[in-house]
A and B are shown apart, each in its own frame.
Chain A
Amino acid sequence: MAADAQQVAQRIPGEKSSLPAMVLLAGWLIPGLGHLILGKWIRALLLFLSIVSMFAIGIALQGKIYSPSTGDILDILGFAGQLGTGLLCGLAHLLGWGATSTVNTLADYGRAFLVCAGLLNYIAAVDAHSLANGRKASV
């Protein structure tokens, strides 16, 4: 434990590297990529499988893909959540995946899966950033 604390204290001053920002961006664009860059491939694989599976289930259930331009604050918040899935969110908008409105209970589950996949990917990307700059001990 003391060794971990010492390791963290030694690595934070060296934060001038562009690596933390790069893994943050990579982790946001593709779930788990930030951890993969840091050599944590098992964590990367688990994060990728979990987040992409949640997104795929959300799409399969015809979950609503939010658009930021409707002017409704709830739509903007939903869009901010789904934006966390990075490239997947872009693909969903480009290729017309999902639905434009919630039509039944299952579609509402799908909407929840899509938004939560994005929010979880934000957490995963920030975790990769913390590992890269030394705020989180790398075991």
Chain B
Amino acid sequence: MTLSHFSAVLLFSLFTSVVFGITQRAEPKMMIRFGAYCFALFVGAVILASWLMYAIKH
């Protein structure tokens, strides 16, 4: 199996956010909202770190 760095990040973020959403909130609506928030933070942080590394290298 071969995964790109970014697809690995997306899969990791998706599955982790689902578990965080279900376990860290009590109401279904808040679970979805918190899961989406975690996913956005995961992916956003990775994109930010990637551009930071690019800027350091160049």
Enumerate chain A interface residues (CB-CB to B < 8 A): 4, 43, 46-47, 49-51, 53-54, 57, 60-61, 106, 109, 112-113, 116, 120, 123-124, 126-127, 136-139
Interface check B37, CB cutoff 8 A: no
Contact A53 B19 (CB under 8 A): no
Contact A109 B8 (CB under 8 A): yes
Q: Interface of chain A, helix or strand or loop or mixed?
A: helix
Size bracket of the B interface: 10 to 19
Contact A51 B15 (CB under 8 A): yes
Q: How many A-B residue pairs have CB under 8 A?
A: 54
Q: Are A123 and B23 CB-contacts (below 8 A) given A61-B3, A139-B28?
A: yes
Q: Interface of chain B, helix or strand or loop or mixed?
A: helix
Complex CA–CA separation, A109 to B4 (angstroms): 10
Contact B26 A46 (CB under 8 A): no
Distance in Å from the Cβ of B3 to the closest Cβ of chain A?
Answer: 7
Which listed residue (B1, B12, B27, B28) contacts A54, Cβ 8 A?
B12
Complex CA–CA separation, A137 to B11 (angstroms): 29
For the complex of A and B, 6 pairs with smallest distance between CB atoms: A60-B1, A127-B23, A50-B15, A120-B19, A50-B18, A137-B26
